[in-house]
Amino acid sequence: MGESKQPHLNGAYYGPSIPPPSKSYHRPGRGGGGCCCNPFSCCCGCLMNCLCTCVFQILCTILVVAAIIIAILIFVFRPNAVKFHATNATLTEFNLNNNTLHYNLAVNLTIRNPNRRIGFYYDVIEARASYQGQRFATTQLTPFFQGTKSTNTVTAEFRGQNMVLLGNREMSHYNGDRSSGMYDIEVKLYLRTRLRFWIVKSMRVKPKIECDLRIPLSSNGTASGAFESQRCDFDWR
């Protein structure tokens, strides 16, 4: 039997379907190809990661070296603590009326630097005055640099009025102070300072100075008592 032809099929193939050829895709950064950074590609993430890592390591190294140098200088020079004293205080008004305190206070402070090789930058000096745990005034003092083995004097002045809420116990204390003419007032200094070792400057530190004062009230130039110089407490916080 001869092979029969079906002319109506026009030579087309009607056998089983032939699967399409498989395509392979290359994804940059995957597998063992590593980083494919070239002018015609945007896959430079690993290069940026390397740069960021290097910059971070350099900064950490600089900080560690600076900290070590400062620690060595502190160990070699052995800085002594700066001494703060309230040498004089003048209180000409301190009247509490309907929870409003009217005040006029000036406190003179001496700052003694006993170190021979270390100076101090006082970048920020904030003075706060409180009575019975209630802050009633804040003032900013002028920044300055204190050289080695020197003494500086600053004056904190508080004047005005402010609301002060006292409980029964605190009010009883206030009445006692008014009767005696001597008032227990706390003055605090919040500092931001830097140390200078020759030409090397330290990072900024934030010590706090606390002065517990008993101040006589002056009226018409006559004080109800004598103010006694008081050494203030130094807290590095």
pLDDT value, residue 40: 43
Say what the pTM is.
Answer: 0.68
pLDDT value, residue 33: 47
Strand pairing category for 230-231 and 83-97:
antiparallel
pLDDT value, residue 81: 85
Give tens-digit pLDDT for 66-80.
777 666 655 555 568
CB 129 within 8 A of CB 90: no
pLDDT value, residue 113: 96
C-alpha distances out from residue 79 to 68, 71, 110, 208, 215, Å? 16, 11, 19, 17, 33
Q: Residue ranges of the chain with pLDDT lower than 50?
A: 1-5, 29-34, 36-42
- List of residues 6+ apart from 48 with CB closer than 8 A: none
Residue 148: count of CB within 10 angstroms of its CB: 13
pLDDT value, residue 76: 55
